Amino acid sequence: MKEKVLFVCVHNSARSQMAEAFLNHMCGERFEAESAGLEPGQLNPIVVESMAEVGIDISGNGTRAVFDAWQSGTIYSYVVTVCSEADAEGCPVFPGIAKRLHWPFDDPSRFTGDHAEKLEQTGRVRDAIRAKIAEWCAELGATTVA
């Protein structure tokens, strides 16, 4: 049986969505990832575009509230918050889980500049999340797909 992982951020529109997609893609034999947010918003179109650049389609994903994840009764082996350090105070805490991790990443919704600049900045966050997922899977001995 796969270990369930919940990635949580404030809006479930960028960082948690990327982390969910990468974990399912890279270590899906061991883990089943989901994501949620404290105040679910709309999926960030620049994040969708950035993920498409690396061959992962998240365009059909919806956003979800942490309360809905909690209410579902799902038992998660890990809950990973991916809020930035600046947003850490507002980042939700998911009660009653075995292992909590905090991986801070900048929030793409706060990036400024034109479309190309925002896409470049989002790509840096995407690559950092992918690297962290690969590192974590290796630490836990999970088989990783590039």
Active site positions, annotated:
9, 83, 91
Helices (H), the chain: 15-27, 45-53, 66-71, 115-139
Query: Measuring CA to CA, which residue among 64, 11, 69, 66 is closest to residue 39?
Result: 11
Number of Cβ within 10 Å of residue 11's Cβ equals 20
In this structure, how many other beta carbons lie within 10 angstroms of the beta carbon of residue 112?
Answer: 7
Pair of tokens at residue 22: 């990468």
98 CA to centre of own chain:
19
